[in-house]
Structure 1
Amino acid sequence: MLDSLQSTVDQTGHQLKLRWLTPEPEIERPLRGEEPEQAQQSLIGSLNCIHPNRLQVIGHPEQLYLATLGTTAYAETVKKLFSDRPAAVIFTDDIEPSPDLRDEATRTQTPLLGSTLGDQELINHLRYFLTHALAERTTVHGVFIEVLGMGVLLVGDPAVGKSELALDLITRGHRIIADDAPRFARIAPETIEGTCPETLRDFLEVRGLGILNIRAMFGEGAILRNKTLNLVIDLQPLDQRQLACIDRLTGGLSAMTILGVAIPKIVMPVAPGRNLAILVEAAVRHQMLRIRGYDAGVDFIDRQARAISQDRPDPPAAKP
């Protein structure tokens, strides 16, 4: 269970100096709460009883705050901390929990963890790890490649030429992330990151040649482990009628939704004699300009409008 407290401690415990202050739970303890209100909680943060985190962190500032509370306020705060059913409470800076905190943890069966790291250092590391470990994921059929610094997903029907195009791009100095089944994760509200399944890493299948090891053929510089997805290029063999339907100014620009994020998509016609590698590079450069706020189609329309207005004669002056 990848999204459990135990697996998180197993994977990060050595780096973050985590240790169990209470016995490790025998049953997997999920980091995502099962109740609707728990699903909306932040995964980790400093002690917060108003908007409780699933992993509540107590460092020196929180320890000093608890020490300033009166007897009644302290008891209520401790009770509130554990009644919110956190996945665990983590004590940083080598702090040892007080007996009453241990008693309440035992009563509510809440695991306690300790670390020698500072609170912010531990929170930053765990937040980064959990963002990637618990991100929504999906697999898309295609080839994921980095072109001019942008992550480009090549999609299309089987045998349309995705892998051959990827091989052409690799020979031109670009880098491949994954062939056939790139795996994507939503690591931020508008950010999709793509990686390659371990069993497929370094390999590219090209019809007629079989399986190629890109790392062995082109070196370390031809491989990239992960990349943010910026553009989708849909390779389509279109007939004349379909080609006529493509907008001459904007091209085949639309969007493809992956994990709830709209990714710009370009439909690229496939036909004999077209140099698709050059066209992909041009599409990436064109998308870079769009991101910076420049659109050649809009510029062209504006230029034509200015030329028409300059050639138009001035209207006759009104008679008095």
Structure 2
Amino acid sequence: MIDSLQSVVAQTGTQLKLRWLTPEPQPPRPLRGADPGQSLIGSLNLIHPNRLQVVGPPEQTYLAALGRTAHDETLDKLFADRPAAIILSDDIAPTSDLLERARATRTPLLGSTLGDQELINHLRYFLTQALAERKTIHGVFIEVLGMGVLLIGAPAVGKSELALDLITRGHRLIADDAPRFARIAPEVIEGSCPETLRDFLEVRGLGILNIRAMFGEGAVLRDKTLNLVVDLQPLAQPELECIDRLTGSLSAMNVLGVAIPKIIMPVAPGRNLAILVEAAVRHQILRIRGYDAGVDFIDRQARAIRLDRPDPPVARD
């Protein structure tokens, strides 16, 4: 789990050429501060300080140009904000003033040979993925026509059988039973599979199937953005009649604060659910592009009515 400075260094240190310039702190140093909205990583910022403050050549030039009093006040302010660590990029050697204050405040110093912007970009991406808000939803997550589709419904409703049918039609499995979703951007939910469940699909009567072994590498996918939720429900006739025949059952499902389009897919004997899911995905792709068949149908009927019953001529004086 990524929740401390030490865990970040352990996982990214080799790739990002990170090294300790002061002794590694004990116990583990938390990445998050008291302010949950505080930025985790960025260049030197004394107004909105980051938890990981990066000092590169521009900051080094700025500090060197300050007078002695302003220089000391700036360093005091930097350490008073209690950053999780200060990272010196571009193989910059720490000054004696910086080392002295780091030891006095027990603030870790790290160094890297990478450039400041490259370092910030890599760490920002890593931390966004590692610290994203997460949620596990019972269902089967599958890629259909390039869209991430979550199949949900009551136990034994046929989610896994439908997923297997879709896989045989060329679509790809991401996760069965417990797909894990993370909010990686304000409006983006990404789904993946726990390592212990990856490649496996449970089908009642057949047991556990290894989809990678049965269908090959192209039948599985590591992660995908969630685009559509399909809720499989066995509906009685009165419930079916309540579904709008023009717009269908389109609604939204809240996943980690993001509204994901959801449709209710009635389950009944004789219905080819795989074809229906493919059609639902194609329909959603058209919606994303700005086309809605229901609206088009209504407009076409309205035009036909107007042509059949034209407006009366306007009387002229």
Q: Which residue of 2 aligns with 1:264?
A: 261
Q: Which residue of 2 aligns with 1:25?
A: 25
Deviations 1:84-104 (A, max 9, x none): 111100001111111111111
Q: Which residue of 2 aligns with 1:51?
A: 48
Shift of 1:317: 4.4
- Calculate the aligned-residue CA RMSD, in Å: 1.0
Deviations 1:88-138 (A, max 9, x none): 000011111111111111111111000011111111111110000000001
Shift of 1:319: 7.6
Task: Write the distance in 1 (CA, Å) between the matches of 2:242 and 2:224.
Answer: 33
* Aligned partner letter, 2:38: Q
Deviations 1:167-210 (A, max 9, x none): 00000000000000000010001100001001101100000100
Q: Does 1:92 align with 2:85?
A: no
Is there any run of 5+ residues in structure 2 with no aligned partner, and where? none
Shift of 1:40: 1.6
SS at match of 2:91: coil
Q: Does 1:284 align with 2:281?
A: yes
Shift of 1:5: 0.4
Q: Which residue of 2 aligns with 1:9?
A: 9
Deviations 1:7-55 (A, max 9, x none): 000000011010011111111111111x2xx322111011111111110
Counting only pairs closer than 5 Å after superposition, residues 1-320 of structure 1 correspond to structure 2 as 1-33=1-33, 35=34, 38-315=35-312, 317-318=314-315
Shift of 1:244: 0.5
Further displaced range: 6-15 or 100-109: 100-109
Task: Write the distance in 2 (CA, Å) between the matches of 1:72 and 1:90.
Answer: 23
Task: Write the distance in 1 (CA, Å) between the matches of 2:50 and 2:278.
Answer: 45
TM-score, length-normalised on structure 1?
Answer: 0.97
Cα 1:119–1:316 change in 2 (3 A) is closer
Task: Write the distance in 2 (CA, Å) between the matches of 1:256 and 1:313.
Answer: 44
TM-score, length-normalised on structure 2?
Answer: 0.98
Deviations 1:42-87 (A, max 9, x none): 1101111111111000011111111111111111110111111111
Task: Write the distance in 2 (CA, Å) between the matches of 1:21 and 1:39.
Answer: 28
Task: Write the distance in 2 (CA, Å) between the matches of 1:252 and 1:3.
Answer: 41
Task: Write the distance in 1 (CA, Å) between the matches of 2:314 and 2:250.
Answer: 46
* Aligned partner letter, 1:156: G
Cα 1:303–1:124 change in 2 (3 A) is same
Is there any run of 5+ residues in structure 1 with no aligned partner, and where? none
Task: Write the distance in 2 (CA, Å) between the matches of 1:309 and 1:76.
Answer: 77
* Aligned partner letter, 1:268: M
Further displaced range: 250-259 or 306-315: 306-315
* Percentage of matched positions with identical amino acids: 81
Shift of 1:3: 1.4
Deviations 1:141-172 (A, max 9, x none): 00000000000000000000000000000000
Shift of 1:310: 1.3
Moved over 6 A (4+): none
Task: Write the distance in 2 (CA, Å) between the matches of 1:186 and 1:85.
Answer: 28
SS at match of 1:39: coil
* Aligned partner letter, 1:24: E
Task: Write the distance in 1 (CA, Å) between the matches of 2:313 and 2:4.
Answer: 80
Shift of 1:315: 2.1
